[in-house]
Chain A
């Protein structure tokens, strides 16, 4: 493959609103994952390992952290003389200029960037999935079938199919129907949001889509249905392997747990996942430490008990503290005697001495909640909890709680607070 044969465009502008307080200061692709990664490392490393070294990263929501993180692209070996990693925010053009209106519009607004590299094929990726994939295989399939568009698909359980864009394909893999989030799915082939387009065809349809005032400028809703209606050859590329959309707190937590169980195997020399590295010394375990079924990384210091948990860079767990079934993001401190149970604790937080996070009877069902399904408790970045505070299961805490009056404990039980119509403290 010549270097400019295929370039990748990573859609990284999403807010990830279902990740709640985790994305209040950063875009979803920049959310930390698996101890030392960010979610976007997977798309970037897959590109690097597939030999695709010209990558545009389309940012929009809270781009600062993501821009700093990607920088020159050096950690992914994308600081190149020709090509490399490019951050592509929306910008003003003449008298016009607007935000990215949808996925298709975001690509359309970067027409000039695509023209500049003059690639025949455009690989479109989303920056918020956890998976390892060799895009060269998909490119080969694209060439073999003579498709103008190839969509990567994965077989999902029928019960989950309504959450995805569902495709129907004939036995040669040619797609004849596409439905976004169907109530009654016609198949179980879900689109992974990974597309390879022939650039000339893509540009033609993006142009047409742009001129259609009724369009929502989205690949799934507008562009792909239009191409299908015109009878364009669109083929499916079936992927089997680990793939997870970490769009909710629950799925983010579960994907982290997969790292411990081995369901997600990243210890693969032929397919490294690269990340921008902070220079931290190796982890230290005190004589009082106890760690089981956990993943722990550089800069951590553990003197307490850690079970079935993922500790990110620079996390401290003091003597007598217990962290169980939880993920603790970078630089957070869990002080003496604190207990953290089934929780997601964001970065730079402090769980003070004897504070309990995630208390309550796990057998009592909680009311449904758009963010913290499955009873997980979420502590936002920079939050400090002190003074015997007890945070109930399924609660989101977005501000520090340091003083604590008698009898206030119930306020932190989500079930009890529900009638007031507040989800977050």
Chain B
């Protein structure tokens, strides 16, 4: 699909993740031991043969830029095309204002126009899933669609407050589309992934800008079914929507299910990420680790159950970690018990502490904190 340009929108809806997105964009949210959320959509694009990917950013994007670097880990450090991080285009004197994704896209018109690709795959960055887009693209061409939207019947999407649902005919064509309601029997909720011709996207942007409109869903998609041939393409695999802190915890824990893990980390379509050159994880003589996902570079001497440890986590011998997420380089001291807790990066929990949350609402300890 080297005739397709990938655009990954970042920085929208980040507030819902609270403490975890205080220091970073949601796209840079650490997920599953060694990944950032953007790795999934980026790898999906790369595994579909897309060689030109633009990542517009809005705010606190240092962490994201640091992660993506030149794009070489995704094989996107290329002479021709590759990965483009596109910071907000600010006109001197004018701030970002109440801009929406349309304004961000308008700010990268240069990049869109300069890219020779015929199609655009436009996506957000809010989900853990593994797929390629070849079937979506074939469907788009065969159906003669103007816009093809990737949809899912996953409960998390069907019940999300921002759900966009389609009334779909037997051929997949959307007769109607609505926001935030469940009126239709089709059970097709948008995953926020759109396939369309670049020229059409540019026309939509120009039209919105000239009428002072800002939002792709509200101002384009919701009014499109009469004028355009909008089709939906159902994604059948596992998708984990991360649109809130409880959702982050829930979707992380679902990866402990071997069947879910096998679908997300399908060996045929690897998920790429920044390489950290950590050593293997060392298990001490008294370690007791069960039902967990462990990244490299950890040192585990204590007890860990139903948990996810990121790179470089350290668990002391008499510590007990259950149903928790411990991010990069965090340290759990002796006699510490943590349960249903998320520790952000570089957190240190010193001797004897007890931290416990609830599985419906875990405790979160912010980056670099010392407890």
B294 CB within 8 Å of chain A:
yes
Nearest chain B CB to A304's CB is how many angstroms away? 12
Nearest residue in A to B309 (C-beta to C-beta)?
Answer: A282
A297-B282 in contact given A285-B289, A286-B258, A287-B291 (Cβ < 8 Å): no
Number of interface residues of B (CB under 8 A): 35
User: A284 touches which one: B275, B280, B288, B293 (CB < 8 A)?
Assistant: B293
Q: Which residues of B contact A311 (CB under 8 A)?
A: 280
User: Which chain B residues numbered 266 to 300 have a C-beta less than 8 Å away from chain A?
Assistant: 270-273, 275, 277, 279-297, 299
Most chain A beta carbons < 10 A, residue from B72, B277, B297 = B277
A283-B281 in contact given A289-B290, A297-B296 (Cβ < 8 Å): yes
Nearest chain A CB to B255's CB is how many angstroms away? 9
Q: Which residues of B contact A35 (CB under 8 A)?
A: 279-280
Task: Tell me if B72 and A285 are in contact (CB < 8 A).
Answer: no
A275 CB within 8 Å of chain B:
yes
A132 CB within 8 Å of chain B:
no
User: Which chain A residues numbered 283 to 328 have a C-beta less than 8 Å away from chain B?
Assistant: 283-298, 306, 310-311
Most chain B beta carbons < 10 A, residue from A35, A36, A275, A297 = A297
Nearest chain A CB to B253's CB is how many angstroms away? 13
Report how far A310 CA is from B285 CA in the complex, Å: 14
Report how far A277 CA is from B270 CA in the complex, Å: 12
A279-B270 in contact given A284-B261, A284-B293, A297-B281 (Cβ < 8 Å): yes
Most chain A beta carbons < 10 A, residue from B286, B288, B294 = B294
Nearest chain A CB to B198's CB is how many angstroms away? 30
User: B282 touches which one: A74, A274, A280, A295 (CB < 8 A)?
Assistant: A295
Report how far A239 CA is from B285 CA in the complex, Å: 31
Task: Tell me if B279 and A267 are in contact (CB < 8 A).
Answer: yes
Nearest chain B CB to A373's CB is how many angstroms away? 25
Q: Which residues of B contact A280 (CB under 8 A)?
A: 270
Task: Tell me if A295 and B281 are in contact (CB < 8 A).
Answer: yes
A165 CB within 8 Å of chain B:
no
A293-B284 in contact given A34-B279, A282-B32, A286-B258 (Cβ < 8 Å): yes
Q: Which residues of A contact B256 (CB under 8 A)?
A: 284
Q: Which residues of A contact B293 (CB under 8 A)?
A: 282-285
Report how far A267 CA is from B297 CA in the complex, Å: 7
Nearest residue in A to B288 (C-beta to C-beta)?
Answer: A290
A74-B291 in contact given A34-B279, A279-B272 (Cβ < 8 Å): no
Q: Which residues of B contact A306 (CB under 8 A)?
A: 283
Nearest chain A CB to B150's CB is how many angstroms away? 23
A149 CB within 8 Å of chain B:
no
User: Which chain A residues numbered 351 to 366 have a C-beta less than 8 Å away from chain B?
Assistant: none
Report how far A237 CA is from B349 CA in the complex, Å: 44
A274-B281 in contact given A285-B291, A287-B290 (Cβ < 8 Å): no
B89 CB within 8 Å of chain A:
no
B33 CB within 8 Å of chain A:
yes
B216 CB within 8 Å of chain A:
no
A182 CB within 8 Å of chain B:
no
B81 CB within 8 Å of chain A:
no
Task: Tell me if B32 and A281 are in contact (CB < 8 A).
Answer: yes
User: B33 touches which one: A34, A282, A289 (CB < 8 A)?
Assistant: A282
Nearest residue in B to A76 (C-beta to C-beta)?
Answer: B277
Q: Which residues of A contact B265 (CB under 8 A)?
A: 281
Q: Which residues of A contact B284 (CB under 8 A)?
A: 292-293
User: Which chain A residues numbered 253 to 294 have a C-beta less than 8 Å away from chain B?
Assistant: 259-260, 262, 266-267, 272-275, 277, 279-294
Q: Which residues of A contact B294 (CB under 8 A)?
A: 282-285, 296
Task: Tell me if B283 and A291 are in contact (CB < 8 A).
Answer: yes
Task: Tell me if B277 and A273 are in contact (CB < 8 A).
Answer: yes
A274-B287 in contact given A36-B296, A74-B72, A298-B296 (Cβ < 8 Å): no
Task: Tell me if B275 and A277 are in contact (CB < 8 A).
Answer: yes
Task: Tell me if A275 and B277 are in contact (CB < 8 A).
Answer: yes
> 1/0 per position for A171-203, CB-CB distance to B under 8 A?
000000000000000000000000000000000
User: A294 touches which one: B264, B277, B283, B286 (CB < 8 A)?
Assistant: B283
User: B34 touches which one: A34, A282, A293 (CB < 8 A)?
Assistant: A282
Nearest residue in B to A308 (C-beta to C-beta)?
Answer: B285
Nearest residue in A to B32 (C-beta to C-beta)?
Answer: A282
Nearest chain A CB to B141's CB is how many angstroms away? 30
Most chain A beta carbons < 10 A, residue from B264, B281, B287 = B281
Report how far A297 CA is from B270 CA in the complex, Å: 17
Task: Tell me if B277 and A310 are in contact (CB < 8 A).
Answer: no
Nearest chain A CB to B98's CB is how many angstroms away? 40
Q: Which residues of A contact B271 (CB under 8 A)?
A: 279, 281
Nearest residue in A to B295 (C-beta to C-beta)?
Answer: A282
Nearest residue in B to A312 (C-beta to C-beta)?
Answer: B280
Q: Which residues of B contact A310 (CB under 8 A)?
A: 280
Nearest chain B CB to A250's CB is how many angstroms away? 21
Report how far A106 CA is from B288 CA in the complex, Å: 51
Q: Which residues of A contact B72 (CB under 8 A)?
A: 74
Nearest residue in A to B270 (C-beta to C-beta)?
Answer: A279
Nearest chain A CB to B321's CB is how many angstroms away? 13
> 1/0 per position for A375-387, CB-CB distance to B under 8 A?
0000000000000
Nearest chain A CB to B280's CB is how many angstroms away? 4
Report how far A277 CA is from B34 CA in the complex, Å: 13
Report how far A267 CA is from B296 CA in the complex, Å: 11
Most chain A beta carbons < 10 A, residue from B72, B283, B299 = B283
Nearest chain A CB to B87's CB is how many angstroms away? 26
Nearest residue in A to B266 (C-beta to C-beta)?
Answer: A281
Nearest chain A CB to B76's CB is how many angstroms away? 14
A-B pairs with the 9 shortest C-beta distances? A35-B280, A282-B33, A297-B280, A281-B265, A279-B270, A295-B280, A287-B291, A282-B295, A291-B283
Q: A279-B273, A291-B289 are in contact. List 13 more A-B contacts (CB 8 A).
A: A36-B279, A36-B296, A267-B279, A277-B275, A281-B271, A284-B261, A289-B290, A290-B288, A290-B290, A292-B286, A294-B283, A295-B279, A295-B281
Chain B residues with a Cβ under 8 A of chain A: 32-34, 72, 256, 258, 261, 264-265, 270-273, 275, 277, 279-297, 299
The 14 listed contacts between A and B (C-beta, < 8 Å) are A259-B280, A259-B282, A279-B270, A282-B33, A282-B294, A282-B296, A284-B256, A284-B292, A284-B293, A285-B293, A289-B289, A292-B283, A292-B286, A293-B284
